Amino acid sequence: QAQRPPVPAPGRWPESMRWSYMQWRPMPRLWCSCPESCSTIANSSWLHGTSLLETLQEAAALNGLVMEYASAELTADREVAFVAVRQNGMSLNFLAPELRADTEIVGEAVQQNAEALEFASQDLRESIDSLERASTTVKDDRGIVLLAVQQSWEALGHASWRLRGDRELVLLAVRQDARALDLASFGVKADREVVLEAVRQNGGTLRHAAEKLRADREVVLEAAQRNFKAFSYASRNLREDREFVRQVIRHDGRALKFASAEMRADKQLA
């Protein structure tokens, strides 16, 4: 099988080879593995045309910081920006100003590296930091609220009621701290997956769950196993159910004090 010819060092590529660069797929991996070669090649004028967009995307997927060397035109390309920040959130620093104000791109960057938020636009950072005092419009801006919740679960409490009913936002907050369930709308408090996520962290958050979930055997058992006091928030039917009470106190006998009077007087349980 014929061998590919050796590839000259980047700085020594002749003009005749530049047109075929897109055909040489291994190159992004080669030049992104070394900052010096990355800088040398990326600063070459032939890398800055839109016809090489696909190559830059490949490079950014391997090393998002390659955006430092891209042209102004390509640092303003939203598709390339997404690829770069997903690989390295800190590459947000090298994007065009309008993209550093884009909540979706900043959100992806912050998800990859929380410290990337410092490179977001000043206006966006101020909106996130002052969400509590922000306008109704800002509080209802999902992109801004998402970024704020990524920084602190408590920001959910300053969001609009509509966004406090956004399942994804609530889950994000609850995964940081189960107490965020208390900030959610009634509809999300009735979401079984969200409530299970919360009670598995902190059984006491069962008190914030919808009534139907406080009557759900699995949900209540999960909560009581983490905190026996959570059994006090269970539905009356469950606190009167002998077999269920037996399951709960098997894990922690102190939970019996929250069962019904009849169950507390049951010698088989005591």
**Does residue 99 form part of some domain?**
no
Out of 40, 65, 91, a domain closes at 91
Length of the chain equals: 270
Asked if the structure places residue 247 within a domain, the reply is yes
Residue 234 is assigned to a structural domain of this protein:
yes
Q: Say how many C-beta atoms besides its own lie within 10 A of residue 63's C-beta.
A: 21
**Higher-confidence position of 153 and 7:** 153
The DSSP code sequence of 151-210 is H-GGGGGGS-TTGGG-HHHHHHHHHH-GGGGGGS-HHHHT-HHHHHHHHHH-GGGGGGS-
Residue 129 domain-assigned? no
Question: How many domains is the chain partitioned into structurally?
Answer: 2
Q: Which of 263, 59, 51, 63 is nearest to 255 (CA)?
A: 263
Alpha helices in the chain (DSSP H): 15-18, 27-32, 35-42, 53-62, 72-75, 78-87, 103-112, 122-129, 136-139, 142-151, 167-176, 186-189, 192-201, 217-226, 236-239, 242-251, 261-264
Contacts 24+ apart (CB under 8 A), 106-111: 106/143, 106/147, 107/143, 107/146, 107/147, 107/150, 108/82, 109/85, 110/147, 110/150, 110/151, 111/150
Q: For residue 89, what is the DSSP state?
A: G
CA 93, CA 120: separation in Å to the nearest integer?
A: 8
Under DSSP, the state recorded for 134 is S
| Domain that includes residue 264, residue range | 210-270
Domain assignment present for residue 254? The answer is yes
170-218 pLDDT tens trace: 999 999 999 999 999 999 999 999 999 999 999 999 999 999 999 999 9
* 255 occurs within a structural domain: yes
- Percent of the chain predicted with pLDDT > 70: 76
182-195: pLDDT as tens digits: 999 999 999 999 99
- The number of angstroms, rounded, from the C-alpha of 230 to the middle of its chain's C-alpha atoms is 29
268 located within any domain? yes
Of 91, 107, 125, the domain-final residue: 91
In sequence order, the 6+-apart residues with CB closer than 8 A to the CB of 173 are 149, 153, 155, 156, 180, 183, 184
CA gyration radius, the chain:
27
Residues 213, 214, 215: CA angle, nearest 5 degrees: 85
The share of the chain scoring above pLDDT 90, in percent, equals 51
> Which single residue is written with the structure tokens 């830059």?
56
Residue in the block written with tokens 């049951």: 266
9 pLDDT band, cuts 50/70/90, is: very low
> Given this model, what pLDDT does residue 35 score?
47
- pLDDT of 63 reads 64
| Ramachandran category for residue 156: left, alpha or beta (phi over 0 → left; psi -120 to 50 → alpha) | alpha
**How do residues 58-75 score in pLDDT, each as one tens digit?**
665 556 677 777 778 888
Mean pLDDT, the chain, whole residue set: 81
Last residue of a domain, one of 46, 66, 91: 91
Looking at the domain assignment, is residue 251 inside a domain?
A: yes
Q: How many CB atoms lie within 10 A of CB 162?
A: 12
